[in-house]
Amino acid sequence: MFSTIGYLHLLFSVISMITGLIVILNTKGTKFHKRVGYVYVVNMLLLNISSFFISNFNGFSIFHFFAIVSLITILAGMYPVLKRSKNWLQKHYYFMAWSVVGLYCAFWSEVGTRFVKNMQDFWWAVAIATFLTAFLGNYFIKKNAKKLTEQ
């Protein structure tokens, strides 16, 4: 953690968490949304790429697997915007919203690795925090998706 790549990873994660939250809480489709959204996407890409230069558990770990999932989610969220395919807005919203939820779930894993020393407690703490984050994220994603389809 106390390396240049670790500090960069931390920086990218903090910027991603802030910009992701800003995008979620503000009006969609505005210039502000697009600008902050692109800052989010660039930092998420850098965050995910930097994760592969951090060794967890002496090599490829579950954290690297979820970095790949995160990369796929970001790309899946941006593809409809760039291609303007059928139902592009719903696809963009769905994948980008889950990207932010996944980022906050990853935050709990990171907190767990820093503050929970007993591995048995670590898995329970991370599982409960991640489940609650995903559950609430799912609720709000579905709620806001309904508003999106009504427009």
pLDDT digits (tens, 9 = 90+) for 128-145: 888 999 999 989 988 888
Segments in 26-118 forming alpha helices (H): 31-51, 62-83, 88-115
Distance CA 149, CA 143 (A): 11
pLDDT of residue 94: 93
Report pLDDT for 28: 87
Residue in 68, 71, 91 with CA at minimum distance from that of residue 81: 91
Give the model's pLDDT for residue 112.
75
The pLDDT tens digits for 65-106 are 889 999 999 999 999 999 998 889 899 999 999 999 999 998
How far from each other are the two terminal CA atoms of the chain, in whole angstroms? 45
More confident residue, 123 or 70: 70
13: exposed, middle or buried (C-beta count within 10 Å: 0-12, 13-18, 19+)? buried
